Amino acid sequence: MKAIEVKHLTFSYDGRVNAVDDISFTVEQGEVFGFLGPSGAGKSTTIKLLTRLLVPKANRVFVLGQDMAKADYRFMRRIGIAFENDVLYPELTGFENLYYHAKLYGIGKQEIEEVMKMLDILDARDKPASQYSKGMKTRLVLARALVTKPQILFLDEPTSGMDPDIASYVRKVLKELNKNGTTLFVTTHDMHEAEQLCDRIAFFSSGKIVAVDTPESYKKRYGESRILFQVGSDSLQIDRKDKEELLKLIKQDQWDSIHSQEATLEDIFIKVVGRGLKEGDEL
Ligand SMILES: Nc1ncnc2c1ncn2[C@@H]1O[C@H](COP(=O)(O)OP(=O)(O)OP(=O)(O)O)[C@@H](O)[C@H]1O
Ligand SMILES: [Mg+2]
């Protein structure tokens, strides 16, 4: 059984522009699958359709074999959902926020504390959520998603607003969960996040999947490595394949240093999609 199967899924908020425009893809169990795309691409809309926060048309979205247009409350326990701008109860403590969610599913205090510990927010257990920093709130939302021990986690920009150390810690936790069998579906506009976390990445832009591949394979297919010759404050970039030019420059011996530069996933995104990952980053 596939973890996720999406067939020709389209969604429009206003009946005119498609926020999600005829996408199809599958995610295997145990995989980390990422949607990488710029702001407004339709990433959050997609994840809402996958988790029934927006109700998809029947026969378009299957999660663990379940048609999500007909998923009920019992099924929802098997999936965990963490959104970028998720709603917490600000007056309740971190623990209480998790407790009210966990209680619905008969989950006890010990499990809640275990999850808080795993995400390094147990010290803030009794603080109101309103006093959590942005990165702590994101971890609290993640803790809420994890408390039912879901088979699949849906994560919308999971490290948004976190400082780099905490972001890397959270990615480590996510990788560990994946190693223990949890399937992850992740959206991000951060190429490093996509590259570090994902087994496969869909390049996503204007509601459409433009390509799906592994990070290594993208680099092999589209990446060009270049050699950088530094001469004083000037630099000269040469295509690695241009052996003749490379040898000529080396023999001329007028350089201060030579570096090799691999194409980044963002370079490849621009090449394949025709725009960058940041706003206004059109070609
Ligand atoms: N509730 C809504 N009503 C109307 N239009 C919406 C709504 N939510 C999103 N949109 C529009 O749908 C498109 C896709 O938005 P979405 O939030 O899915 O993008 P995103 O890729 O998650 O962006 P970001 O990286 O900024 O979170 C955008 O054009 C957005 O303006
Ligand atoms: Mg979004």
Ligand 1 atom 7: residue of nearest CA: 13
Give the ligand with the smallest distance to the CA of 19: 1
Ligand 1 lining (C-beta closer than 6 Å): 13, 19, 37, 39-45, 189
H or E element that contains 23: strand 20-27
Q: Quick one: which atom of ligand 1 is closest to the CA of 47?
A: 18
Angstrom distance (rounded) from CA 236 to CA 223 = 19
Class of domain 4-214: alpha beta
pLDDT in tens, 254-274: 899 998 888 889 999 999 999
Residue whose tokens read 């965990």: 80
Give the ligand with the smallest distance to the CA of 205: 1
Among residues 258, 265, 268, the alpha carbon closest in space to that of 237 is found at 258
How many Å from the N-terminal Cα to the C-terminal Cα in the chain? 40
pLDDT at 160 (0 to 100): 84
Task: Report the Cα 18 to chain-centroid distance in Å.
Answer: 22
CA–centroid distance, 125 to ligand 1, in Å, is 33
Q: Are 259 and 231 in contact (CB under 8 A)?
A: no
CA–centroid distance, 38 to ligand 1, in Å, is 11
- List every span in the chain annotated with CATH 3.40.50.300: 4-214
pLDDT in tens, 29-74: 999 999 999 999 999 999 999 999 999 999 999 999 999 999 998 8
Angstrom distance (rounded) from CA 190 to CA 79 = 24
Tens-of-pLDDT digits for all 283 residues of the chain?
A: 999 999 999 999 999 999 999 999 999 999 999 999 999 999 999 999 999 999 999 999 999 999 999 999 889 989 999 987 778 999 999 999 999 989 988 899 999 999 999 999 999 999 999 999 988 998 999 999 999 999 999 999 999 878 899 899 999 999 999 999 999 999 999 999 999 999 999 999 999 999 999 999 999 898 877 899 998 889 888 888 888 999 998 998 889 999 888 888 999 999 999 988 886 555 4
